[in-house]
Amino acid sequence: MIIQQHLPKELFRGKTVFITGGGSGINLGVARHFAALGANLAICGRTQERLDRAAAELRELNAHVGGKVLPVAADVRNYVALEEAFGRTEAEIGSVDVLVAGAAGNFLCPAEDLSPNGFKTVIEIDLLGSFNASRIAFAQLRKTRGSILFISAAQALFPHGLQAHVGAAKAGIDNLMRNLALEWGRYGIRSNGITPGPIADTEGMRRLSNPEHETRTKGSIPLGRYGHVDDIGQAAVFLASPLAAYITGTLLLVDGGSSLIGSALWNEAVEQMVPRKSAQG
């Protein structure tokens, strides 16, 4: 449930927000904030059951405006399936005003052990998937003079150990974000990115963080805590709102200052989690 909500409860009434990867974690947190401000929501992911569960929760949050929620399964790598999802969204809940490109895959793997298909898989989900969603959403965003929010990661800003695939994918996303801001401003479409820091109770943290290092890691973050999914939700609704009408091409770090300390502690922590196979023998 949402812990803070400062904007008018009907700010996004009648607006439609499409969120890739919206069935869980940070992206579901973002969906909650839009729903609580009255938006209609379309959430996509690969697992219909997970989307249905999330949709039930979101329907309670936007019930105050009679909002609609569409859980629609699609793999962001599959352009045709994603086109169908956007088509249904426009027909059933209205043209998209806000696209949140948040679907992603991640795992820890030393670069020398990463298979070409492992690298390609993450590039395809994160980077190609973000392009696919933006490219398809364009026709609807042009009508609504809407905006795009890309969910990035600090791996794009400086290298993190065992994250060559994700660093490449997310750096590509950051540049795509800026390119679309440059090219689509003429259509009234804004394009921005959010770089979350370590966000508690998420799949990303379950996969990537070393619990044995938790106290030290938290202590090293300037604001002294992991983020909450609500921290990202707050930033997302701000960037999509009229408060940010003149903001485009911007990457907003919502990370408690964690990017200021670099990745040395991270590298030490993950090194103990995954043995380097190719280095042995």
Which of 67, 167, 198, 233 forms a contact with ligand NAP (CB under 6 A)? Answer: 198
Note whether 156 binds ligand COA by CB under 6 A. no
C-alpha to C-alpha distance for 124 and 118, rounded to whole angstroms:
10
Which of 23, 71, 146, 256 forms a contact with ligand NAP (CB under 6 A)? Answer: 23
Minimum distance from residue 223 beta carbon to ligand NAP (Å) = 15
Encoding tokens for residue 226?
């992991």
Note whether 204 binds ligand COA by CB under 6 A. yes
Q: Which is nearer to ligand COA, 30 or 37 (CB)?
A: 30
Radius of gyration of the chain (CA): 18
Q: Which is nearer to ligand NAP, 54 or 189 (CB)?
A: 54
Residues 91-130 that bind ligand NAP (CB under 6 A): 102-105, 125, 129
* Burial profile 52-63: b = 16 or more Cβ within 10 angstroms, e = fewer: eebbeebeebbe
Instruction: Point out the residue whose Cβ comes nearest to ligand NAP.
Output: 25
Phi and psi torsions of 158, nearest 5°: -155, 155
Are 71 and 54 a contacting pair, CB within 8 Å?
A: yes
C-alpha to C-alpha distance for 206 and 203, rounded to whole angstroms:
5
Which of 13, 46, 53, 59 forms a contact with ligand NAP (CB under 6 A)? Answer: 46
Residue type for 112, please? E
Note whether 146 binds ligand NAP by CB under 6 A. no
Strand ranges in the chain using DSSP code E only, listed in sequence order: 16-20, 40-45, 69-73, 98-101, 147-151, 190-196, 251-254
Count the residues of the shown chain that bind ligand COA, applying the rule CB under 6 A.
13
Q: Which does 121 bind (CB under 5 to 8 A by kind): ligand COA, ligand NAP, none?
A: ligand COA
Are 194 and 149 a contacting pair, CB within 8 Å?
A: yes
Residues 89-118 that bind ligand COA (CB under 6 A): 104-107, 109, 115, 117-118
Element (H, E) at 56: helix 48-61
**Which residues contact ligand COA (rule: CB under 6 A)?**
104-107, 109, 115, 117-118, 121-122, 203-204, 207
**Which residues contact ligand NAP (rule: CB under 6 A)?**
20-21, 23-27, 44-47, 50, 75-77, 102-105, 125, 129, 151, 153, 196, 198-199, 202-205
